[in-house]
Amino acid sequence: MRRKTIVHAPTLTTVIMVEKTLRNSGELLKVAELKRRLPRKVMHNTLLTILDYLQSSGKILIGTKGILWVFSDRKELDRLVKQGIEL
């Protein structure tokens, strides 16, 4: 029986750094471009682990052309609800 082990687990600080970079980019990014925009270097496998987590939590979409931040903050959702029409 083979077990998949994580060689290097990301810290919360690193996960938040990647989230912030993706959220502030406002555009589709390739993994290489994301690595260049990060304020600190991140190991490739660690970054892939973070991206898997963000995708499974519904914060990003990963496609063939790149990565896109899709999660909307609660404040933005509240604003949209206030502007909406009640049915």
Q: What is the pLDDT of residues 55-69, one digit of tens each?
A: 999 999 999 999 999
Task: List, for residues 1-40, the tens digit of each pLDDT value.
Answer: 556 665 668 999 999 999 999 999 989 999 999 999 999 9
Residue 39 lies in a domain: yes
Residue 1 lies in a domain: no
Considering only CA atoms, which of 55, 47, 56, 57 is closest in space to residue 11? Answer: 47
Task: Assess contact for 66 and 28: CB atoms under 8 A.
Answer: yes
Domain count, the chain: 1
DSSP annotation of 85 = P
**CATH, residue 54:** 1.10.10.10
Residue 6 lies in a domain: no
Give me the helix-helix angle, 44-56 and 12-25, nearest 10°: 70
- Dist. CA 24–CA 50, nearest whole Å: 17
Instruction: Name 23's Cβ contacts closer than 8 Å, sequence gap at least 6.
Output: 69, 71
Q: What is the pLDDT of residue 76?
A: 73
Q: What is the pLDDT of residue 26?
A: 87
Residue 3 lies in a domain: no
Instruction: Identify the domain containing residue 75 by its residue range.
Output: 12-83
86 has a pLDDT exceeding 70: no
